[in-house]
Amino acid sequence: MRTYIVILLCMMGAWLPTQASSAHAEDESFNVKDIIFDHIGDAYEWHVTTIGDTHVSIPLPVIVYSRETGWHTFLSSHFHHGTEAYEGFHIATEGDYKGKVVETLSTGEVARPMIDISLTKIAVGILINSLLLVGIILGVSRWYKRREASDEAPRGFVGVMEMLIMMVYDGIIKPSVGKDYERYAPYLLTAFFFIFLSNLMGLVPIFPGGANVTGNIAITLVLAVCTFLAVNLFGTREYWREVLWPDVPMWMKCPLPLMPVIEIFGLFTKPFALTVRLLANIMAGHSVILALVCIIFVTHSMGGLLGGSMTVISVLFSIFMNCLELLVAFIQAYVFTMLSAVFIGMARVEHHKG
């Protein structure tokens, strides 16, 4: 039942921003690409819906540091949806910084502020997801703190969380990391639930959800770097020996360090693959769902009959895609965690003969 609600909400959410666009579709051409990129990209305000010509959006704080005028903190509503400038700042509509806050310097030059740590839509998404995750996990752990081992097992939500946690713990972490797995379990579990929750929240179309958190490279990059650090900071001697002086014929490593170079390159390709895999999967999922919903508006501008029939097809496909995305939300979290665990396990090899 909950799944249906999520799907329904996804449908609605996919509908809302595009409905806003459909109002414009009459006078300007319906730009599917812009809609999709607006959604999967970042923004300084959290657009909820558009009714008629009124944009309903939640203004978010802009925090910038200018070389000339220092710190500035104000709500993004001062930009009036990007149409006006405030305190010398405005949102660029074209160029390299399109969609970003830029400042007009005293020389008349337009440049990015030195530091821009505005709480953008995705940043707020991160914070909401983090708070939610901390709330859920601490809530669950509180249940355990109040009980003894001899009490009966949890039911309901805590039971589901326990099942998920133990699935990751026993199914991924224990077998993949091997010895000392307890040391890495908190990080891997945090990563799994952060990704899983963010993926799910990304599928929820209205306010607290809908931000494309795990489909943004900054987020996946940070996660992958964390894994990179966990792998390489605690690597054993044997691991580093295998990287720098692998068991290959001498000519492959002696005058020209061919294999060591490849191995060191491999150290960085692993987190890169983690970054791109998660990013691309989530971004692609969001894009496809949006594209399917956009079909409705594109075909409606072509004619009633075509539009009507395509609406049915589009809705059916969107439902299918949302189900698929629920699956992907879980699978990608699982894959990221499993690969991280496997990489950590590989870096913890002990010396072995043969």
Partner 1 sequence: MSLFTPDSGLLFWMILSFGVVFVVLAKWGFPVITRMVDDRKRYIDQSLEAAREANVKLEGIKAESEALVAEARNEQRRILKEAADTRDRIVGEARQQAQAEGARLLAEARTQIQHEKEAALRDIRRQTAELAVEVAEKIMRKQLADERQQMHLVERLLDEVERN
The correct pick among 185, 290, 298, 326 for binding partner 1 (CB under 8 A) is: 185
10 backbone dihedrals φ, ψ, rounded to 5°: -60, -45
Per CB under 8 A, 48 contacts partner 1: no
The correct pick among 16, 283, 292, 321 for binding partner 1 (CB under 8 A) is: 283
Pick 157 or 320: Cβ nearer partner 1: 157
Per CB under 8 A, 71 contacts partner 1: no
Longest dimension (CA), the chain: 74
Dist CA 260 CA 266 (whole Å): 9
Bridge partner residues of 116 (DSSP): 64
Which residues are CB-contacts of 122 (< 8 A; sequence separation ≥ 6)? Answer: 42, 211, 212, 213, 216, 218, 219
Pick 61 or 260: Cβ nearer partner 1: 61
Per CB under 8 A, 201 contacts partner 1: no
Per CB under 8 A, 238 contacts partner 1: no
Site string for partner 1, 83-102 (x = CB under 8 A): ---------------xx---
Pick 272 or 320: Cβ nearer partner 1: 272
Span of 212-220, 235-243, 290-298, 314-322 interacting with partner 1 by CB under 8 A: 212-220
Contact predicate 175/344, CB 8 Å:
no
Dist CA 316 CA 319 (whole Å): 5
Beta carbons within 10 angstroms of residue 68's beta carbon = 12
The correct pick among 217, 288, 315, 346 for binding partner 1 (CB under 8 A) is: 217
Beta carbons within 10 angstroms of residue 244's beta carbon = 13
Please name which of 39, 40, 76, 38 lies closest in space to residue 57, comparing C-alpha atoms: 76
The correct pick among 35, 219, 341, 344 for binding partner 1 (CB under 8 A) is: 219
Which residues are CB-contacts of 247 (< 8 A; sequence separation ≥ 6)? Answer: none
Per CB under 8 A, 169 contacts partner 1: yes
The correct pick among 21, 45, 46, 116 for binding partner 1 (CB under 8 A) is: 116
Q: How many CA atoms lie within 13 A of 56 on its CB side?
A: 11
Per CB under 8 A, 222 contacts partner 1: yes
Site string for partner 1, 121-160 (x = CB under 8 A): -xx--xx--x--xx--xx-xx--xx-x-xx--x-------
Q: Which residues of 282-317 are buried (b: 16+ CB within 10 A; e: fewer)?
A: bbebbbbbbbbbbbbbbbbeeeeeebeebbeebbeb
Pick 152 or 247: Cβ nearer partner 1: 152
Contact residues for partner 1, defined by CB under 8 A:
37, 40-42, 98-99, 115-120, 122-123, 126-127, 130, 133-134, 137-138, 140-141, 144-145, 147, 149-150, 153, 161-162, 165-166, 169, 182, 185-187, 189-190, 194, 216-219, 221-223, 226, 283
